[in-house]
Amino acid sequence: MNRIKLLLLIGLFALPVAASYIAYYVWQPTARKNYGELIKQVEVRASGVALDGRPFDVASLKGKWVMVYVGGGECAKPCQDLLYFMRQTRTAQGKEMDRVERLWLLTDEVAPTDELQSYHAGMHYLKPNASPVAQFVGSETGAYLYMIDPLGHLMMRWPQSPDPGRMIKDIRLLLKASQIG
């Protein structure tokens, strides 16, 4: 009887250790909280001119979260949808929306129409001097929306046809977890 009690007592203390070992080294969670794809952080270095001809550098947006669309100035329906999602996602942040900026990195010399620009007031436009586009997309221009963190690093991307509700949750999570920006 004493031997059984001793084994039960040892098992009682050994079981949590064994369970924690299994949970940490063997069991891999399949779910994740974020919808966007986390990508290798790369510092974004892009400068050029804004649509009004003034010099503009992405570094001027440091300290803010920046949603980035990369594409040409001729904006068809898929492009317009993405810009709309960017605007609505930012607006949905409520009092925190000032922590999020929007940037359209233009890949050609075509300027967006005045109507489109007025519809997306507050968006920053950049015609880069060099080609920082490869740093974002390689050959996948327009395929994703990107996020730059307040320190100036490219860190997340969403698919071309994103779920705006899940994007909103991602950004809320980022803003809640971040003490900067």
Per-residue burial over 57-88, b if 16 or more Cβ lie within 10 Å, else e, is ebeebbebbbbbbbbbbebeeebeebbebbbe
In a domain, 27, yes or no: no
Backbone angles phi, psi at 128, to 5 degrees: -70, 150
* Whole-angstrom distance, CA of residue 136 vs CA of residue 44: 9
Q: Which residue has the higher pLDDT, 24 or 133?
A: 24
- Residue 129: which domain range? 33-177
pTM for this entry: 0.79
In a domain, 140, yes or no: yes
CA distances 91 to 27, 155, 159, Å, are 39, 21, 20
40 band by pLDDT with thresholds 50, 70 and 90:
confident
In a domain, 8, yes or no: no
3 band by pLDDT with thresholds 50, 70 and 90:
confident
In a domain, 47, yes or no: yes
Number of domains, the chain: 1
Instruction: Give the chain's mean pLDDT.
Output: 87
Cβ 23 vs Cβ 134: under 8 Å: no
Q: Determine the pLDDT at residue 107.
A: 86
Q: Determine the pLDDT at residue 92.
A: 95
Q: Which residues contact 139 (CB under 8 A, 6 or more apart)?
A: none
In a domain, 13, yes or no: no
List pLDDT tens digits, range 94-116: 999 999 999 999 888 899 999 99
In a domain, 21, yes or no: no
List pLDDT tens digits, range 56-99: 998 999 999 999 998 888 989 988 999 999 999 999 999 999 99
In a domain, 18, yes or no: no
In a domain, 172, yes or no: yes
Q: Which residues contact 68 (CB under 8 A, 6 or more apart)?
A: 102, 103, 104, 105, 136, 145, 146, 147, 148
Query: Nearest-CA neighbor of 152 among 61, 89, 39, 47?
Result: 61
Q: What's the CATH number where 100 sits?
A: 3.40.30.10
* Whole-angstrom distance, CA of residue 154 vs CA of residue 151: 9
Residue 118 has pLDDT above 90, yes or no: yes
124 band by pLDDT with thresholds 50, 70 and 90:
very high
